[in-house]
Amino acid sequence: MSADARDAILAEVRKSLACRRRANDSADPSGDDPAARLEGHARNLIPDRTAGGKATNVALFVTMIEGVSGTVERVADAGEVPKAVAGYLARHNLPPRLAIAPDPRLAALPWAAQPLLDLRQGAARESDQVAVTGTFAAIAETGTLMMASFADRPNTLNFLPDNHVVVVAVKDVVGTYEDAWDRLRAAGGLPRTTTFITGPSRTSDIELVPTLGAHGPRRLHVILVDDAG
C-alpha cells in the first residue's frame, strides 16, 4: 500500500470518529466530562413488559425465573422462610446443612423453629451443598437477581454450593436493570463486586447439549416473601 493510500484511509477513519463523537455529545450533553456522565445516568430502552406496577412486576419476575429453570416458592411472611428451606432440602433429599450469608436479615429469621437444620454463617466452602442468601434487588425484566458483595454477603455463596436458595422480599423486586442500579447508587458506596444471576448455571459448550451446574449452582430456588411489599 502506498503512503498516499494509507494516509487517505486514516483520514477517513479520523473523520468517522469525529462525526461519531459529535453525535454522542449531542445525545449526551455531559460530553467527555466523567463526573457529569456519572451524575446523568442516562436510561436505556425500557421494555414495555415492566411498565406495570409492583404486582405486575412481581408476577413477571416469577414467570421469568421459572422460564430459565429456576423455582419460586411464595410465603406470607419472613417467619415461614426456615420451614420453606427445610421443605426444599427434603424435596431434593439434601442433608440439613446450610451455609448462610452473615446477613442480619437472615440471622433474624426463626431458624430455631427447625431444630434439625445445621447452620453455618460465612463464606462458602468446597464441601457446602446448599447456600442461603438474600439479594440486593430482583429484576423483573429478565428474572435476574442482583447480588451486591459486602462483608455480610460473601460472593462465594453465589457460586460454590450446588444449590442456591435466595430469600427475596417483595419490596426488593424492581422492573428494570436501570431501577436496580438506581437503588444501588442511592444506597451509597458501591460494592466490591456486583453479580447478576439469571437461573441456574448452564452451558451448551459441549456438543450444544445444555448442562446445568457447569460453572455454579445447578439449582436456583427463590423464596419470595410477600409481607415485605
Q: What value does the mean pLDDT of the chain take?
A: 86
**Per-residue model confidence as pLDDT tens digits over 134-191:** 999 999 999 999 999 988 899 999 999 999 999 999 999 999 999 999 999 888 878 9
- Provide CATH 3.40.50.10420 ranges for the chain: 51-228
- Report pLDDT for 151: 87
pLDDT per residue over 35-89, tens digit each? Answer: 776 666 677 778 888 888 899 999 999 999 999 999 999 999 999 999 999 999 9
**Fold of the domain built from segment(s) 51-228:** Rossmann fold (3.40.50)
The pairing of beta strand 137-139 with beta strand 173-174:
parallel
Pick from 58, 208, 211: nearest CA to 140: 58
Amino acid at 135: T
Q: Which pLDDT does position 201 carry in this prediction? A: 66
- Residue 211's pLDDT band (cuts 50, 70, 90): low
Q: Are strands 118-121 and 130-133 parallel, antiparallel or unpaired?
A: unpaired
DSSP state, residue 150: B
Cβ-based burial of 48 (10 A; exposed 0-12, middle 13-18, buried ≥19): exposed
Q: Mean per-residue pLDDT for 109-124?
A: 96
Residue 203 has pLDDT above 60, yes or no: no
**CA end-to-end distance (rounded Å), the chain:** 67
Q: Scan for cell 427445610, then name that residue.
A: 86
Judge whether 114 and 20 are in contact, CB under 8 Å: no
Q: Which amino acid is at 50?
A: T
Q: The cell 436496580 sits on which residue?
A: 180
- For 5, residues 6+ apart whose C-beta sits below 8 A from its C-beta are none
Confidence of residue 207 (pLDDT cuts 50, 70, 90): low
Q: Residues of the chain with pLDDT > 90: what percent?
A: 62
Confidence tier at 8 by pLDDT (50, 70, 90): confident
pTM, rounded to two decimals = 0.79
pLDDT band at 27 (very low <50, low <70, confident <90, very high): low
Model confidence at 116: pLDDT above 60: yes
pLDDT band at 18 (very low <50, low <70, confident <90, very high): confident
Instruction: Find, among 78, 70, 80, 91, the residue nearest to 165 by Cα.
Output: 70
Of all helices (H) and strands (E), which one includes residue 179? helix 177-187
CA distance 123 to 117: 18
C-alpha cell of 199? 437461573
Alpha helix positions (H), the chain: 3-27, 34-40, 54-67, 81-91, 104-107, 177-187
Lookup: cell for 32: 467527555
